[in-house]
Chains A and B, each alone.
Chain A
Amino acid sequence: MARREPSLFARLIVLISLVLTLGAAALTTAAWYYAREAANEAYDRLLVGAAYQMAEAVNVQGGVLTVELPVSAFELLALSERDRIFYKIVDTRGRTLTGYGDLATPESEAPALGGPDVQDGKFKGTAVRMARTARHFSDPSVRGRVDVVVAQTTEARTTLARELTLRAVALIMVMSALALGGAVFAIRYALRPIGRVGTALLDRDPHDVTPVSVSTPRELRPFVSATNEFITRLRSRMDLMQQFIADAAHQIRTPLTALKAQLELLSRQAMDPQGRQHLCRVQERVDQLSRLANQLLSHAMVNHRAGAVPFESVDVVEVVRRAIREAVPDTLDRDIVTALELPPLPVEVEGDAISLKEAVKNVIDNAVRHGAATQLTLRVREQPRMVEIEVEDDGPGIPPELWSQVTERFGSSSSAGSGLGLSIAADVLSAHGGGLGFQNRAGGSFAVIMRLPNEMRQNR
């Protein structure tokens, strides 16, 4: 037994989910990164603006560096409502003019240029964003650079970044859900032809060895054509086998005919009663053998025709007439009254006339050989959707517990029969979409009923 493989659907969904999850994770990380950048950029402008305003407020008055910090600089920073503000102004000699003396002056790459420099930092254990700008004085009394450092805690930035990220994540989630839903739908849609091919193969008649003709997507064509190739090979082998059986049966019949003629000649000569008894047995066995050969031929023919010969309109009444004509000569050794109860008009079904005739012949033959004591009745009845051919005899019939067995090949174990007759009939009827039934009638008679659908005809 092969290891149970996960279904295609499961494989695809797992793979797609994996890709989507990884993608969502990557996108979320990117969104967080970009949101932080955006938040920093937005709030850095406030920080730099405040630093500029503070730098602007530094003046030299009477040879002394003075600073009067504008309220507006703090109002600007207060726009990020919850953030704490730290600042310091360092004079030309490196002393803190005002503000938080313990605030570190961030190292700037190119302080001489005096452009604003914003970076992350720490103050009193709190993460802050620090801006630094410088102002250069060339006053006679004050000469040099004055540094302005403004720092702000990062609550507003973090809040904004988180909000932006959450929104992006919501979008990513919606998109992923849509993609997954779409994938489920698409996979189901794409896998549907496989089920269709499977159903088409399952629904086929067991005797149908014609190629599969379901339309399939390109990807499934190798599979279907391989199946068809297999069917073709199977069919040619079956044909060969049938051919072989037919040939063999035919070959056996010729020596059998000669054997029968010799036995005929032999029976005319005088011989002791024991010898005659032996001869009689030999004659019986030869008859049995020749009947088996005939039935094998019939079986091979019927099987060959099934599925290979197109059905056409067949008059059941005519089929029954021919069958009785061909079957009766075999029954002449006993005195059996044969009655025909046939409708006056033709009863037509779709089918293969030769196979049907073989079926009816075999049923009659079976009845004559194993059943009918004195009476054989053939009826053709039209039922709704159904045509019934009934062969009734007054013989012992078949016990109901054997009914299911007798339609199998060599299923009847009686010494006189080959066990092929009823199976041939059953094969033919099932190839026509019908079936073989048995019935014990009141008065001790037994009926074999062959049912044929005539639905197609009625529909037309």
Chain B
Amino acid sequence: MKNRGTLLHHGIAGLCLLWSLIMVMASKVHAEEPKTFPALLPEQEALSVHAATDLLAMEPLIRGFQNLYPNTRVEFVEYVTNDLYAAAAEACQGGQALGDVFLSSSVDQLVKLANDGCARDIRSPETVTAPPWANWRNEVFGFTFEPVVFVYNRGKLPAEDVPSTHLELADLLRLRPEAYRGRVGTYDIRQSGIGYLLAFNDSQQTTTTYGRLLESLGRSQAVVRCCTSEILDELEAGRILIGYNMLASYAYARVRAGADLGIVMPADYTLVLSRGAMVPSRARNADAAARFVSYLLSARGQEVAQREGFFFGFGGETPPGIEGASSIIQTGVARPITISPALLAVQDDERRRRFIADWSRSLVEMSPE
């Protein structure tokens, strides 16, 4: 009897998940309609930015760029990381042009594209100033400094339950499975390249903790979503209490907008992601693209990004109100994800297939008894 019930439960849960997946894919698989920023002065050129980055965060930077180059019309096409990668790889293989600049938080995918010869070399005074860990071959540049954090709903999560390390999170879910069943959210790494990259790096940091965390997430029926924004929506709504592996920049934007969210930089280690920018080799307007990337890396661009878009700086500067933020760089907690060919291991098909299979087995297919 019990077995059958479990099976039924399992089936329903699986169906629900499948449905939500289909809905998500239907809405997200294709790039959204491009958003156009008309040139401030008579238009002389157009720059097409294909990005797996929230337009909200990028908008101040695009406007800042247009202040410098008022004759440029900027088109912004938004993707989910995996879709951007798929489209870019296809365009590169087929020898077609797709956009002038790629922006993606999933830098491993950009590294893979660059490794396959799909990127263009950019040299300018600004590109030289990028930190070495955020520059590969002058082709892929990291232009942001984004800690990967836990986000929680301040109103609903008891203060004593706020986890400060990955292990505490795992233990919390393990010890109180009932309270947190379906109340923890994270990326669906099958859909989200950034989710996969972060999970992969988690697994590289500590194998045991990662295993326990994965198991705990699975037990507590963690909610998986394609994008940070959806999880943050649910966090704000209170349907989810804790978001795991969230990008601090997006979360902080919500906090600034008045959401009652808490942000924790894990004290055992905090992954730091540098959002990647790349100019494809077949860019139509490579010149403007190079100027745009240079602007992102310039002191002005960084200042705008830190003030309005991404809130964190390469020096480890953090905005107020973030827990465990006493300079993650100085305490040695920060683990920047280096933009280097080592990320090719992350992009290995076989490894990726197995990793996602393991993850799915633990998190999605395994349902609580």
Contacts and interface: CB of A to CB of B under 8 A. Distances in A.
Interface of A: 66-71, 73-75, 77-78, 81-86, 89, 97-99, 124, 126
Contacts of A99: 348-349
Nearest to B132: A81
Contacts of A124: 116-117
A69 B351 contact: yes
A92 to B, nearest CB: 15
24 contacts: A66-B350, A69-B345, A69-B350, A69-B351, A74-B342, A74-B343, A75-B340, A75-B342, A77-B341, A78-B341, A78-B342, A81-B136, A81-B137, A82-B136, A82-B137, A83-B341, A84-B115, A84-B116, A84-B117, A86-B115, A97-B350, A98-B350, A98-B351, A126-B117
Interface in B18-41: none
Contacts of A89: 350
A74 B349 contact: no
B3 interface: no
Contacts of B350: 66-69, 89, 97-98
A98 B349 contact: yes
A84 B341 CA distance: 7
B2 interface: no
Interface of A is mostly: mixed
Contacts of B340: 75, 78, 81
B344 A85 contact: yes
Nearest to A68: B351
9 closest A-B pairs by beta carbon, nearest first, are: A98-B350, A71-B345, A74-B342, A74-B345, A75-B342, A78-B340, A78-B341, A84-B115, A69-B348
B204 interface: yes
B354 interface: yes
A99 B343 CA distance: 14
Interface of B: 114-117, 136-137, 204, 340-346, 348-351, 354
A80 to B, nearest CB: 9
Nearest to B348: A69
Contacts of B137: 81-82, 84
A90 to B, nearest CB: 12
A70 B349 contact: no
A110 B347 CA distance: 32
A126 B281 CA distance: 15
Contacts of B344: 74, 85
B354 A71 contact: no
A68 B115 contact: no
Contact of A73 (B115, B136, B345, B354): B345
Contact of A68 (B204, B343, B354): B354
A36 to B, nearest CB: 22
Interface of B is mostly: helix
Contacts of A83: 341
Contacts of A81: 136-137, 340
A124 B137 CA distance: 18
A81 B340 CA distance: 8
Contacts, number: 55
Given A66-B354, A78-B340, A85 B349 contact: no
Contacts of A97: 350
Contacts of B354: 66, 68
A84 to B, nearest CB: 5
A223 B342 CA distance: 79
A321 B219 CA distance: 149
Contacts of A85: 115, 341, 344
Nearest to B117: A124
Contacts of A71: 204, 342, 345-346
Nearest to B121: A82
A437 to B, nearest CB: 87
A74 to B, nearest CB: 4
A83 B137 CA distance: 8
Given A71-B346, A81-B340, 7 more contacts: A69-B345, A69-B350, A74-B341, A78-B341, A84-B116, A99-B348, A126-B117
Contacts of B114: 84
A153 to B, nearest CB: 9
Nearest to B115: A84
Nearest to A97: B350
A155 to B, nearest CB: 8
A67, A78, A99: residue with the most chain B Cβ atoms closer than 10 Å:
A78
A74 B343 CA distance: 8
Contacts of A70: 345
A439 to B, nearest CB: 91
A126 B136 CA distance: 18
A422 B114 CA distance: 106
A126 B115 CA distance: 12
A74 B117 CA distance: 17
A73, A82, A124: residue with the most chain B Cβ atoms closer than 10 Å:
A82
A84 B116 CA distance: 8
A214 B204 CA distance: 90
B37 to A, nearest CB: 34
A84 B354 CA distance: 24
Nearest to A67: B350
A86 B343 CA distance: 13
A200 B115 CA distance: 80
A78 to B, nearest CB: 5
Contacts of B348: 69, 98-99
Contacts of A75: 340, 342
A85 B115 CA distance: 7
A75 B343 CA distance: 9
Nearest to A70: B345
A83 B136 CA distance: 9
Contacts of B136: 81-82
A78 B137 CA distance: 11
Contacts of B204: 71
Contacts of A86: 115
A66, A69, A70: residue with the most chain B Cβ atoms closer than 10 Å:
A69
A86 B340 CA distance: 14
A319 to B, nearest CB: 98
A273 to B, nearest CB: 127
A443 B340 CA distance: 116
Contacts of B343: 74
B136, B343, B348: residue with the most chain A Cβ atoms closer than 10 Å:
B348
A71, A73, A124: residue with the most chain B Cβ atoms closer than 10 Å:
A71
A73 to B, nearest CB: 7
Contacts of B349: 98-99
B283 to A, nearest CB: 19
A172 to B, nearest CB: 31
A86 B114 CA distance: 12
Contacts of A68: 350-351, 354
A84 B136 CA distance: 10
A334 B148 CA distance: 141
B115, B136, B341, B349: residue with the most chain A Cβ atoms closer than 10 Å:
B341
A312 to B, nearest CB: 92
A165 B348 CA distance: 37
A50 B351 CA distance: 16
B351 to A, nearest CB: 5
Contacts of A69: 345, 348, 350-351
A98 B351 CA distance: 9
